[in-house]
Amino acid sequence: MLPHKGRGALTGSTGRVSPASIRSTMTERSSGLVLAVGGILLVSTDSAITRAAEVGGWVVAFWYGVFAFPAMFTYYTVSALRPGGRVQQAEVNQSGRPSRFTARLWPHRPGFTVLSAGLQAISTTCFILAIKATAISSVVVIVAAVPAVTAVVAWTLLGERPSGRLWKSIGATAVGIVVVVSGSLQVGALTGNVLAMCAVLAFAFNLTLWRRHPAINRTLVIAIGAAFTSVVAATQIPLEGQSTRTYILMFLMGAVLGPLGRIGLASATRYLSAAEVGLVTPIETAAASLWGWLFFGELPPTATFAGGAIIVAAVLYGSLGSSASKG
């Protein structure tokens, strides 16, 4: 299916396909692909940076939030106030001027935005703690199961019954997770796997909430979620200074690479369908596992390789079927 282009937009008065329209569509798709792949590669560095920071998981969570909140909220503010942004949709007073500055930034669904930010904070915190507890590859392989878990949550809460193809994908994904977990039953590794599954479940609930209430602003959710993460983490650690290395790593993760990656993924949906953007998610699994091997010598165990292959194949099978059915 061609994104944002109706078939009539590709044809001239003679009903033939316009070469200029084809070139324009190809350029848009290429832009979307670059944004999606670039975004997911930047996001994949979260696990490596978390592991590289020689501090505990709660410390990482705290400083990630400290840097991520201002970065994401600044982007949200700029986006909301730019021409065509939310300021253009703000109510005006009797003089014809937009409402006050704070009102322009007020979310459409404040209650659901706060709930979504809470789920975001749970997901982020569990992911960081999982990376500190077990191998990077085990965590990202489990995280790759998000599409299948989201389908089950959406079916339970929204009544969106998965197709037969998607049920097969869900079943295979469950098998893959069992294979991964069975290969790392040590106490620390098992704790990390459970935390990874909690991160997946929280994110799946969040995706379902976004689907039910599409007016929720994802950028604002990430910003507030980062603030929540810092507040909760602050109760678990003594607030003390860290090494320059830790500050640099947390700044890169929270204020540079993380926001740029997520903004790239969000921007890719302007040119590609959500299903097409979702197809790049297995790249994160491969890339994050590669960073773990290159920088930390973490060679994934056989069970992780096998389970990961099952999960990625299942996700692609379900996603490709969904994309094709919408085309």
The backbone torsions φ and ψ at residue 98, rounded to the nearest 5 degrees and listed phi first, read -60, 160
Report how far residue 217's alpha carbon sits from residue 210's, in angstroms, rounded to the nearest whole number: 9
Report how far residue 196's alpha carbon sits from residue 142's, in angstroms, rounded to the nearest whole number: 7
Q: Nearest Cα to 251, choosing from 110, 107, 67, 69?
A: 67
Q: Which residues of 172-206 are buried (b: 16+ CB within 10 A; e: fewer)?
A: bbbebbebbbebbeeeebeebbbbbbbbbbbbbbb
CB 66 within 8 A of CB 254: yes
The reported pTM is 0.78
Report how far residue 147's alpha carbon sits from residue 154's, in angstroms, rounded to the nearest whole number: 10
Report how far residue 310's alpha carbon sits from residue 175's, in angstroms, rounded to the nearest whole number: 8
- What Rg value do the Cα atoms of the chain yield, rounded? 21
* Sequence ranges of the domains in the chain: 19-326
Q: What is the pLDDT of residues 289-321, one digit of tens each?
A: 888 888 988 887 787 788 888 888 887 777 666
Q: Nearest Cα to 243, choosing from 57, 59, 58, 69?
A: 59
Measured CA distances, 68 to 113, 123, 229, 257 (Å): 17, 15, 10, 10
Q: Nearest Cα to 319, choosing from 276, 285, 289?
A: 276
Q: What is the pLDDT of residues 225-278, one digit of tens each?
A: 999 999 999 999 887 788 999 999 999 999 999 888 888 887 787 787 665 666
Helix pair angle (281-296, 302-326), 10° resolution: 160
CB 303 within 8 A of CB 312: no
> Band of the pLDDT at 23, cuts 50, 70, 90?
low
pLDDT of residue 198: 95
Given a cut of 70, is residue 29 above it in pLDDT? yes
